[in-house]
Structure 1
Amino acid sequence: MNFTRADFPEGFDFGVATSAYQIEGHAAGGAGQTHWDSFAATPGNVVRFEDGALACDHYHRMDEDLDLIRDLGADVYRFSTSWARVLPEGRGRPNVEGLDFYDRLVDGLLERGIKPAVTLYHWELPQPLADLGGWRNADMPDWFADFTEVIMSRIGDRTWSAAPINEPWCVSWLSHFEGHHAPGMRDIRAAARAMHHVLLSHGRATQVMKGLGVSNLGAVCNFEWATPLTNSAADVTAATRYDAIYNRFFLGGLFKGEYPAEVLEGLEPHLPKGWQDDFATIRSPLDWVGVNYYTRKRLRGTDAPWPAYDYAGTQGPLTDMDWEIYPRGLQDFLTRTAREYTGDLPIYVTENGMASAPTPDPERIAYLSDHLDAVRAAIAEGAPVAGYFVWSLLDNYEWSLGYEKRFGLVHVDFETLARTPKASYHALAKWWA
């Protein structure tokens, strides 16, 4: 690391991020079944059928983990709440143990001088709601609004920031069109409806939180830079369409009240009736926007039906996820987001990090350093970047890849659950001091 806090604007926040199902241990504390439990129990979906029943056992080791965040010198901890932990049936009577757990979490952060940044939903839908169609169901915005009111009535008076839904692209497209995440569908109509209902749910939750007096509200989207394999018209069109589906659809809905034409050409016949009337809710004013960034994709055109693109390999060094390391993409997204969508609205890098071999981890130190350089370059170009949060604090459950891929600054032995800070943790602790 060749820079210090002083190289960033005054008040710039540094932090770390996790998500509930990936670390908490979902079998503890009265949590209900989620569609991830069902997805993981289905052969072929997840490595070794692994699930989040134990994960990092953060539910019982919270104080140890919060001490790690404090000792790292982080300003902010971005965590998520589990809908099924708070409402085991998705609706109805809350689970007192679940609400108490998040109460203790927020209080524990404040006691250590750490800002609590909550994301309400990070992918683990209660199974009873999945049985009713999940994100395809037009009632989802109402159900999500009710969940929002329950959890934020309990902790919203003490959170520093709040965002409704993590990575709408993953919740909808990856999970309903590509089938890689729960519920594991490959259905264009399901994807279209999920994409729209996710954004409408975001808007409803934002309105609920404003009504409760919760402040500093944002949206967290994930982005992948799209590069055509060649300059051919087919490859350029493929990259443009990928960019529209992955990146511009969600920002367009949130900040412009419109969806890109390149997406509507495939999805418009499948969107819910009256979808155009929902933008007033979807565009509920926000205080910041979060950018999750890891990699880029190179695209080629194909003769297949819409969306008619295919991945065309990688260039340069890769992470253990086989994701290309491309820091320039982060710089470009930060500047483009401000220029084309959000103006002076503060932007936070809400996730950035890499999977690498357990120890040592010099690659992670280099990755973080290079991406922080990209953040500085974006700030120099005028992007109003206000913070940077590393994914992730702990090695954890990496969804369909089980426990094989390690993103953590802290190594977790999944046999003993012992935590051991890595070299990257110590490098950041020294730099953030």
Structure 2
Amino acid sequence: MSTHNLSRDHFPNDFKWGVATSSFQIEGAHDSDGKGPSIWDTFCDIDGKIADASNGHVACEHYRRWPQDVELIHGLGVNAYRFSISWPRVQPDGQGPWNEAGFAFYDQLIAALEQRGIEVHLTLNHWDLPQALQDLGGWANRDLCGHFTRYATEVARRFGHRLQSICTHNEPWVIAILGYEQGIFAPGIQSRSQAMQAVHHLLLSHGMALQAMRGLGVKAAMGIVLNLSPIYPASDDPKDLAKAHLDDGLILRWYMDALYKGSYPQDVIDHLGEDAPHVMPGDLNTIAQVNDFLGVNYYTRNFSSSGNPWDVASTGNEVTDMGWEVYPQGLTELLCRLHADYQPQRLWVTENGAAFKDQWVDGVVADPQRLAYIRDHIAATHAALKQGVPVGAYFAWSLMDNFEWASGYAKRFGLVHVDFETQKRTLKQSALWYRNFLSGQ
């Protein structure tokens, strides 16, 4: 079926169509109403870490403009919204007293979504860890598993009956590898052993939190969101084939095997050597809780080379403003592989989108490349459905332009353009297309 002929009617009636955001990227109000600092507040203050030397102090000012943003979401015609809670906004130190002003903000937001019939899909940890917990060692410290479980339980106690789903962690690979091994994301540490220990504690805290929230009788679907990609060898050279298999182990199998098989892949453990995490008896059983859904964040495919890094431009395919190859068929391949190898109960595409340089044409934000990207990846999702994969959701990333982590405000992923000087929101052509697609036009 041509991507141009695909319509919403080709998907199941209960398919979830949404947009997604995260707290630090949009909320601003970094020290308002009792909020504590997060590791990203700290990281932004380090010279040279953010491309444009910006920070999240204001961002999209969503903390104050949320009523307008809820109307934006409703106007798109989506039936689901995925966002995250800022842990330091509701518990400034990551332990100890709760901040009622922070909880009141999310209570209002959830109520507004409920009133408009929009499902609420909540993420507990989208990277903005309370700085006070980082001061104790962050995710490399096993104690964080207990702190996170108490936080998750409190959120579930207050809001669980009003949520369609709860995601524990968004992209633990990014948190650990970019934050603790490569140091290019917060908290800016460069230690492979700390990174792998952080990975283990993120997965362990996921399992512990699921047990605790289910112990409350919460009926919301519970799961985790991973950033995953098909990985291709750069050539047929045996060294490249071996490197691609290892990279697949580090990026996909390490997480999926632990979550769905209760084990870490032995080849990766052997590769890590002394940097392999310390795993205590019973940890892997705790990690392998039943997930009601697996969230998949997909943007591009990856190549592995034993020598020089692979140049994606050599594929001849379009490349986004992030330098990522546009490869929608990789999403179909990935969803089919996850279904075949691990049989998740439900697969959701929880993030998918692209950064491009927007153009203003006669008062309209023209973004034909993003429009085509979203359209073609929706088609790729449908192709997986046709092959029997139980994929039940598609969330476009992102609702609006925002603080794009180490890239600052230079990279725009939004369906909605944000003028960061005036905070004016303008629907881009991609947003208009998505709205028309969802309305059957």
Letter of the 1:386 partner, please give it: G
Q: Deviations over 1:90-143 (max 9, x none)?
A: 110011110101111111110111000001000011111001110000101101
Pairwise mapping of residues 188-337 of structure 1 onto structure 2 (< 5 A)? Answer: 188-215=192-219, 216-275=221-280, 277-302=282-307, 311-314=309-312, 315=315, 316-337=317-338
Verify: 1:349 aligned to 2:346, yes or no.
no
Secondary structure of the corresponding residue to residue 77 of structure 1: strand
2:222 touches 2:291 (CA, 8 Å); kept in 1? yes
Aligned residues: 425
Structure 1 distance, partners of 2:131, 2:53, is: 17
1:47 alignment partner, SS class: coil
For residues 309-354 of structure 1, the C-alpha deviation after alignment (integer angstroms, 9 at most, x for no partner) is x6311021111100011111100111111111125x1111000000
SS of residue paired to 2:270: helix
Q: Which moved more, 1:270-279 or 1:124-133?
A: 270-279
Specify the code of the residue in structure 2 equivalent to 1:28: S
Whole-Å Cα distance in 1 between the matches of residues 44 and 382 of structure 2? 40
Contact residue 197 and residue 278 of structure 2 kept, 8 A: no
Structure 1 SS opposite 2:142: coil
1:271-316 Cα distance to aligned partner (Å, 9 max, x none): 44444530111111111111100011221114xxxxxxx6311021
TM-score, normalization: structure 2? Answer: 0.94
Q: Quote the residue 1:92 is aligned against.
A: 96
Q: Offset of 1:152 from its aligned partner?
A: 1.9
| Other-structure match for 2:116 | 112
Three-state SS of the structure 2 residue aligned to 1:388 is strand
Which SS does the other structure have where 1:156 is aligned? helix
- For the residues of structure 2 that align with 1:185 and 1:329, how far apart are their CA atoms? 31
Q: Distance in 2 between matches of 1:72 and 1:274?
A: 46
**Measured at CA, do residues 35 and 231 of structure 1 come closer, stay the same or move farther in structure 2, by a change above 3 Å?**
same
Structure-to-structure mapping, 1:133-172, within 5 angstroms: 133-172=137-176
Counterpart Cα distance in 1 of 2:169 and 2:193: 21
How big is the shift at 1:261?
2.4
Q: Distance in 2 between matches of 1:210 and 1:268?
A: 36
Residue 377 of structure 2 is aligned to residue 371 of structure 1: yes
User: What is aligned with 1:306?
Assistant: none
- The aligned counterpart of 2:27 is 24
Structure 1 SS opposite 2:189 = coil
User: Using a 3 Å threshold, how does the CA distance of structure 1 residues 406 and 203 change in structure 2: closer, same or farther?
Assistant: same
CA deviation profile, 1:124-183 (whole Å, cap 9, x unmatched): 111110011100001011010011122222211101111100011101112111222111
The runs of 5 or more residues in structure 1 that have no matched partner are 303-309
How far, CA to CA, are the matches of 2:115 and 2:273 in structure 1? 49
Q: Which runs of 5+ in 2 are unaligned?
A: 360-365
Distance 1:284 1:173 in 2: 23
> 1:389 Cα shift?
0.6
Aligned counterpart, 1:307: none
Equivalent position of 1:410 in the other structure: 416
Contact 1:28 1:59 in 2 (8 A): no
- Alignment RMSD: 1.3
| Aligned residue number for residue 72 of structure 2 | 68
Within 1, Cα distance between the matches of 2:256 and 2:201? 15
Q: Distance in 1 between matches of 2:281 and 2:376?
A: 41
| 1:47 corresponding residue in structure 2 | 51
SS state of the match for residue 387, structure 1? Answer: strand
Distance 1:179 1:36 in 2: 12
Q: Does the aligned pair in 2 maintain the 1:102–1:155 contact within 8 Å? A: no
Instruction: Say if 1:174 and 1:180, in contact at 8 Å, map to a contact too.
Output: yes
Do the aligned partners of 2:52 and 2:409 also contact (CA within 8 Å) in 1?
Answer: no
Whole-angstrom CA distance in 2 between matches of 1:28 and 1:392:
24
The 2-side partners of 1:410 and 1:275 are apart by: 46
Provide the rounded CA distance (Å) in 2 between the counterparts of 1:311 and 1:169: 20
Give the 3-state SS of the residue equivalent to 1:49 in structure 2.
coil
Q: CA offsets per residue over residues 355-395 of structure 1, 9 Å max, x none?
A: 01123100011001111111111111111111111000010
Deviates more, 1:182-191 or 1:400-409: 182-191
- CA distance in 1 between counterparts of 2:271 and 2:304 reads 18
Q: Which amino acid aligns with 2:225?
A: V
Q: How far is 1:426 from its partner? A: 0.7
Structure 1 segments, 4+ long, off by >4 Å, are none
After TM superposition, list the pairs within 5 Å mapping 1:2-41 onto structure 2.
2-25=5-28, 26-41=30-45
Task: Give how far 1:39 is off.
Answer: 1.0
**Match of residue 187 from structure 2:** 183
| Partner residue, 1:102 | 106
Q: TM-score, normalised by structure 1?
A: 0.96
One-letter identity of the residue aligned with 2:165: S
Give the letter for the 1:338 counterpart.
H
Kept in 1: contact 2:204–2:286 (CA 8 A): yes
